[in-house]
Amino acid sequence: MKKDTQCVHSGSYRDGETRGVNTPIFTSSAYDYLDRDDTPYPRYFNTPNQDAVVKKVCALEGAEDGVVFSSGMAAMSTAVLAFAGSGDHIVLMDELYGGTHAFATDQFQRLGIGYSFASTDAESLCAAVTERTRVIVIESPTNPLLSVIDIRKVAAFARERGITTIIDNTFASPMNQNPIELGIDIVVHSGTKYLGGHSDMCSGLVVTSREKMVRVRTLARHLGGSLDAISCYLLERSLKTLALRVGRQSENALRIAQFLKGHQGISRVYYPGLTDSPGYAIAKSQMKAFGGMVSFELDGQPDTTKFVRRLRLISPAVSLGGVESTICAPAVTSHLKMSAAERKRIGVTDSLLRLSVGIEDAGDLILDLEHALGTVQT
């Protein structure tokens, strides 16, 4: 099946009694255990609503198995800790989501795990590997600078050395990028973002091979963090329109990036779909489209709060990937826990804004940005 069809039909559970076309909401926390090999239980990640979501995302990502969590960070932290422990070493990209970066700096040393951050290019990342390295964590495109890394090169290098690779594929979504096809072992999503797509639930997913999922699922059952039935229902509902939403968001984002690039009030635009973007060639080789996120810097370091307040359609919000366009300043939101020096080192400036482009009319969004830029300049 094509991905558009998989979005609608993969994993859906038909109720045998009523024959309804939608998966019912199974709120039960207790199930009959007789004549079953694996009794459903919410903390075991095997209830009907959990299974429906996982099967759909596995189909879209080309994975064999997965688990759905209550947040993206629950998914990422479980995936990492399933393959690294005391005495091991992890290599991570510099430009990771702020929550993942903070997880490493706050927790790894306490757990006896060594770690290194490397620049967002395959050569630097591979050079940081040591004899004790067990996991490599990457993100492409990155949050918030939309940098891309050569996924095939990292995956091939790691596989030769028996190192497990984990990628945060949230910004691309399964519609635009499939890292398992490129050789990556484990794909993580914050389902709160594009997969959920309506800013009304929080979730995370890990999908991988059946072999690697044994370790992930075992740790997940100990830690908990599974997603409830109602949130699973909302997530499965949203996945049915993923192809339509991400397609429109990607088209809109490219138009907006091109507009911003030509505006005198903007000093820099970050979008992998611009032909002069440093990562354009790599992005084109591993992505089907370039996604719905655009970041940009206001010229002369003006007050970003003033700019955001002048927007009429685009809302100030810390999340992303919804049908409505939202904007935030990463320095005071997603990357607030980083020191000013750390933010400067990876390029997250005080004038940087991250725009999550929605499914509205692109022309209306451009007019909104143009209005706000005009008021900031005056």
Give the active site residue among 193, 212, 245, 248: 193
Domain boundaries, the chain: 3-239, 244-377
pLDDT in tens, 48-78: 999 999 999 999 999 999 999 999 999 999 9
Banded model confidence at residue 376, pLDDT cuts 50, 70, 90:
low
Whole-prediction pTM: 0.96
The whole-number pLDDT of residue 377 equals 58
* Mean pLDDT, rounded, of the chain: 96
The whole-number pLDDT of residue 165 equals 99
CA distance 271 to 285: 15
pLDDT in tens, 117-160: 999 999 999 999 999 999 999 999 999 999 999 999 999 999 99
Is 94 tagged catalytic?
A: no
Is 97 tagged catalytic?
A: yes
CATH 3.40.640.10 fits 3-239, yes or no: yes
Give the active site residue among 51, 65, 150, 168: 168
CA distance 82 to 119: 24
CA distance 310 to 282: 36
244-377 folds as: Aspartate Aminotransferase, domain 1 (3.90.1150)
Banded model confidence at residue 335, pLDDT cuts 50, 70, 90:
confident
378 pLDDT exceeds 60? no
The whole-number pLDDT of residue 80 equals 99
Q: How far is CA 378 from CA 140, 149, 247, 309, 311, in A?
A: 37, 39, 36, 15, 15
Give the active site residue among 43, 159, 221, 261: 43
Give the active site residue among 97, 115, 194, 233: 97
Topology alike, domains 3-239 and 244-377: no
The residue-averaged pLDDT of 28-38 equals 92
199 pLDDT exceeds 80? yes
Is 303 tagged catalytic?
A: no
Q: How far is CA 35 from CA 31, 32, 46, 159, in A?
A: 12, 9, 16, 40
Is 193 tagged catalytic?
A: yes
Specify which residues 207 forms β-bridges with: 66, 187
23 pLDDT exceeds 70? yes
pLDDT in tens, 244-296: 999 999 999 999 999 999 999 999 999 999 999 999 999 999 999 999 999 99
